[in-house]
């Protein structure tokens, strides 16, 4: 029987016979295995770096809320008399900033424990110390007598019961249809003062409607 010694093998040695094609095949497989293991190592290093980044980003910081409350409900009373009530789908509380960021707002305003108006908005920022509130996003205020105000941003001061906006506002009050830029009033849409670009139209009595307060979610 003829034997073929491996490359660089001593012809007089007792080394086993090796087929050159099998030798080459094993070399190729070994190279492929090295590339595969190198790829896995690189992926593991990348995952380790990504995990480190996520952990660093999720570490406690100034922008991390102290608490997240779902179905947020806040009631304000003065000497046992309810002043306002606020509902929200969720709220993020920041203790150091004394602020709460709430989404999907529904609020009720009271005078002498009587509901005088309701407000809906996309989101709100509430000062948890003074209860001053800023709302924005499709803001609607509806009074108990059927008047309505629409705007995009609005602030409310609980001490003075004043609402204020510097944005464009649309007010329906009796037969009056009023648009303007900027407005101050109270939560019953009394003592209204428009700032500029005021346009007033008189609605046809057949078009007059009384707006009804939205339902709580």
Q: What is the pLDDT of residue 203?
A: 74
- The model carries a pTM of 0.65
Whether residue 158 contacts residue 78, with contact meaning beta carbons closer than 8 Å, is answered with no
User: What is the set of domains in the chain, with CATH numbers?
Assistant: 1-59 (no CATH), 67-202 (2.60.450.10)
Q: What is the pLDDT of residue 41?
A: 45
Residue 169, C-beta contacts closer than 8 angstroms, at least 6 positions apart: 149, 150, 151, 179, 180, 181, 182, 183, 194
Q: What is the pLDDT of residue 90?
A: 93
Q: Going from the first residue of the chain to its last (217 residues), give the mean pLDDT of each consecutive group of 10, the final group possibly shorter.
A: 44 49 50 50 44 31 79 87 92 91 94 92 93 94 90 93 95 90 94 94 62 47
CA end-to-end distance (rounded Å), the chain = 92
Q: Count Cβ neighbours within 10 Å for each residue of 132-156 and write b for 16 or more, e otherwise.
A: ebbbbeebbbbbbeebbbbbebbbb
């Amino acid at each position: 029987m003829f034997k073929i010694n491996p490359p660089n093998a001593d012809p007089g040695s007792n080394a086993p016979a090796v087929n050159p094609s099998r030798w080459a095949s094993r070399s190729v497989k070994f190279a492929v295995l090295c590339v595969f293991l190198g790829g896995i190592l690189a992926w593991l290093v990348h995952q380790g770096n990504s995990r480190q980044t996520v952990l660093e980003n999720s570490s406690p910081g100034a922008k991390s809320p102290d608490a997240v409350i779902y179905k947020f409900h806040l009631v304000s009373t003065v000497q046992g008399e309810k002043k306002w009530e606020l509902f929200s789908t969720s709220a993020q509380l920041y203790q150091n900033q004394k602020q709460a960021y709430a989404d999907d707002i529904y609020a009720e305003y009271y005078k002498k424990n009587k509901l005088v108006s309701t407000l809906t908005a996309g989101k709100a920022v509430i000062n948890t110390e003074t209860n001053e509130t800023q709302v924005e996003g499709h803001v609607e205020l509806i009074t108990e007598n059927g008047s309505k105000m629409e705007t995009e941003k609005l602030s409310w001061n609980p001490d003075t019961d004043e609402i204020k906006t510097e944005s464009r506002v649309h007010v329906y009050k009796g037969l009056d249809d009023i648009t303007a830029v900027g407005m101050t009033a109270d939560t019953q849409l009394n003592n209204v003062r428009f700032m500029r670009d005021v346009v007033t139209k008189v609605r046809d009595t057949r078009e007059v409607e009384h707006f009804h307060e939205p339902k709580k979610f």
